[in-house]
């Protein structure tokens, strides 16, 4: 029996066109998984698929805007048609922002972030869950420190990540007797260039990497942590610094607030 839990594992991976999602696709292919890759960027998906195929593995590519419920349904249905089952759903797609709330020019930006980061995970999970229950599969949510701590200049992003935490924590309890595991990942900055793609006050991408992403965790390290936690069906991954931060949040919240401003402020 192969000890690697991802060998012949059918995985739906959202946000697979770049960053964490792209590197995770490469790692999962190396571990013998069979993948459905989803993202909005068709070119990015093609690039990810090309490298996977160079490794000798064909992948299913489905351009998907997870903020649209019908597209999430299509993503799951196409995966079932192709593979016959789903073993793992990794909710990785997301967008960020950098702007004071009182300087946002179009409040619809907050809804956009919520639809991608939170509702996209809800929609994908809703349609995949019956199949995951049959396979006794894995649900994974990629959050960040924004799901645990204040997110100044990223209020909509923080709200979406807190919503993810509440949803998946509740779902974990509901699924306790089904065998389906729910793993949440909380990491600090990862060197993906996400800050350059964050939405500014005008709703447009900033276009430059911000200072607080400098010296961030390498993408490969983050992927290792995610897949290890998912493989072991852990409740969550939160590094030691994050655990200490939770202690300070409880007993000395002002320290956490000051650190948030120092880290995320202009």
**In angstroms, how far is CA 122 from the centroid of its own chain?**
12
* Averaged confidence pLDDT in the chain: 92
Within 13 Å, how many C-alpha atoms sit on residue 143's CB side? 32
- List the chain domain ranges: 10-239
**Quick check: 265 pLDDT over 70?**
no
The better pLDDT of the pair 232, 259 is held by 232
C-alpha closest to that of 18 among 95, 123, 98, 109: 95
* Dist. CA 92–CA 113, nearest whole Å: 14
Backbone φ/ψ region at 130: left (φ over 0), alpha (ψ -120 to 50), beta = alpha
Structure confidence at residue 203 (pLDDT): 87
* Dist. CA 240–CA 225, nearest whole Å: 13
Residue range 10-239 forms a domain whose CATH class is alpha beta
* Dist. CA 119–CA 128, nearest whole Å: 14
Residue 173's pLDDT band, with cuts at 50, 70 and 90, is: very high
Structure confidence at residue 261 (pLDDT): 84
Backbone φ/ψ region at 2: left (φ over 0), alpha (ψ -120 to 50), beta = beta
Mean pLDDT of 152-165: 95
Least confident of 5-19, 36-50, 204-218: 204-218
Catalytically annotated residues = 157
**Quick check: 107 pLDDT over 60?**
yes
Determine the 3-state secondary structure of 117 from DSSP: helix
Structure confidence at residue 2 (pLDDT): 54
Residue 1's pLDDT band, with cuts at 50, 70 and 90, is: very low
């Amino acid at each position: 029996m192969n000890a690697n839990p991802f060998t012949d594992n059918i995985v739906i991976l959202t946000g697979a066109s770049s960053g964490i999602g792209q590197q995770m696709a490469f790692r999962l292919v190396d571990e013998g998984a069979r993948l459905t890759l989803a993202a909005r960027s068709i070119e990015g998906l093609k690039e990810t698929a090309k490298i996977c195929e160079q490794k000798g593995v064909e992948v299913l590519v489905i351009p998907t805007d997870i903020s649209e419920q019908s597209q999430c349904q299509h993503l799951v249905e196409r995966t079932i048609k192709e593979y016959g089952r789903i073993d793992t759903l990794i909710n990785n797609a997301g967008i960020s922002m950098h702007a004071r709330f009182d300087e946002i020019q179009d409040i619809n930006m907050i809804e956009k972030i919520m639809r991608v980061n939170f509702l996209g995970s809800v929609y994908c999970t809703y349609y995949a869950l019956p199949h995951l229950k049959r396979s006794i599969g894995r649900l994974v949510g990629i959050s960040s420190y924004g799901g645990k701590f204040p997110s100044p200049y990223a209020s909509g992003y923080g709200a979406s990540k807190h919503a993810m935490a509440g949803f998946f924590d509740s779902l974990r309890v509901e699924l306790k007797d089904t065998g389906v595991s729910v793993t949440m990942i909380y990491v600090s900055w990862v060197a993906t260039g996400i800050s350059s793609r964050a939405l500014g006050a005008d709703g447009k991408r900033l276009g430059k990497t911000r200072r607080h992403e400098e010296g961030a965790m390498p993408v490969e390290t983050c992927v290792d942590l995610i897949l290890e936690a998912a493989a072991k069906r852990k409740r969550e991954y939160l590094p030691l610094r994050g655990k200490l931060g939770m202690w300070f949040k409880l007993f000395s919240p002002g320290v956490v607030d000051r650190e948030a401003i120092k880290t995320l402020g202009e």
